[in-house]
Structure 1
């Protein structure tokens, strides 16, 4: 039985683009991005974060920072593979949420874990390599967040702005390395995050060529057609069907 959606000529990508372009799409995504923070706060309030709630809060916020960063990096490959151009609207928002959760991660560590003991914090940064790597990634995210506005794009210029924001992959790799060095022994989860980040970087460096050229704005596949040959002088033009095809092609 034929698919009724296909029979009606409805492009699912057009529906997805329309949904993502609606006025409610960004508020809905914004609200969803706050769910992990609200859930962690609720667990802390109800005493369900375990014996070390501060440490669990630090871990949870850091993990969500890495997740949002990888999701933001995955939007471009998803847009290229699916043709849903509306995904690009949320790349900046998700990147800023990665910076937000990284800030919560660092603030919880400084304020609730170390109680603003700057001497102890500095010793941790110097003595523990995973903290040094994490701080490096956070500094990169800070620079990217500070230059994420349209005004900064104009000030820096498109070429310099793009060169700076390619460092987001360095921040992602630093976050994954921070996670790997933090856990004890070789565990599966940190390695999975690292492989995802490396895969996204490889896709960005060597994107998959689908063999068809996609319109980045409409998300539709454009097909190159050969222009019809012009009639010779004094020769009547060849007959054509209303769609421009030749009768010889249909025979």
Structure 2
């Protein structure tokens, strides 16, 4: 059943989602400022990475949820959710550059090239940057709809890379429960997209066949 909120209701809902998305960051700042964390560096690094994955999964879930529920207004939340994935990814990268290397870019590059899980995470972050930069309506018009869509399909590469980064990081502790969970969610969401694309192609082929005139001998 379709649910169609009014523009005012949608605006209020978007504001609520925005504030909720900032809560994890606000919590990290508060707990660090008040000295309530035993290992603040590890907590912040882990937390920003986890929330990057959460928002990647949530943003990937928007399209399937919209199609299943016919709540087309959900598409208006996807851009903001994707930007929050980038926001937490940028914080995650900043903590790595700051806490691990004290902003020594040369040492950071050595680490990126030396450790595969960091290499993969770094590539995923770099690929996120053009998606964030081109998230405005102006960039959509400048690039053109088709080129913009092709560019933003990088998310289908970024999400698996982020999972692989998380998997390799957890492999050192032989803790695979969370990577398997995140990996399963991302795999399911991507498979749903494949199913949608296949179904669309089949329908298009049938319509084209039906529109083709039959010539009698």
For normalisation by structure 2, the TM-score amounts to 0.84
CA contact (8 A) 1:75 1:91 kept: yes
User: Which of 33, 36, 39 is the aligned partner of 2:27?
Assistant: 39
Once residues 86 and 156 of structure 1 are traced to their aligned partners in structure 2, the CA distance between those partners, rounded to angstroms, is: 24
Q: What does residue 191 of structure 1 align with? A: 180
Change (3 A) 1:20 1:179: farther
For normalisation by structure 1, the TM-score amounts to 0.73
Query: How many pairs does the alignment contain?
Result: 197
Larger Rg: 1
Higher helix residue share:
2
Q: What runs of 5+ residues in structure 1 fail to find an aligned partner?
A: 1-10, 210-251
Q: What does residue 169 of structure 2 align with? A: 182
> CA offsets per residue over residues 188-221 of structure 1, 9 Å max, x none?
1111101111111111111297xxxxxxxxxxxx
Correspondence 1:126 to 2:120: no
Once residues 34 and 27 of structure 2 are traced to their aligned partners in structure 1, the CA distance between those partners, rounded to angstroms, is: 11
RMSD: 2.0
Deviation at 1:157, TM superposition (A): 1.4
Structure 1 range deviating more: 135-144 or 148-157: 148-157
Query: Alignment partner of 1:206: what SS?
Result: helix
Once residues 8 and 113 of structure 2 are traced to their aligned partners in structure 1, the CA distance between those partners, rounded to angstroms, is: 45
User: Which of 6, 23, 28 is the aligned partner of 2:16?
Assistant: 28
Match runs of 1:172-251 below 5 Å: 172-183=159-170, 184-207=173-196
Change (3 A) 1:19 1:196: farther
Once residues 138 and 19 of structure 1 are traced to their aligned partners in structure 2, the CA distance between those partners, rounded to angstroms, is: 34
Once residues 88 and 21 of structure 1 are traced to their aligned partners in structure 2, the CA distance between those partners, rounded to angstroms, is: 15
Correspondence 1:65 to 2:64: no
Q: What runs of 5+ residues in structure 2 fail to find an aligned partner?
A: 200-217
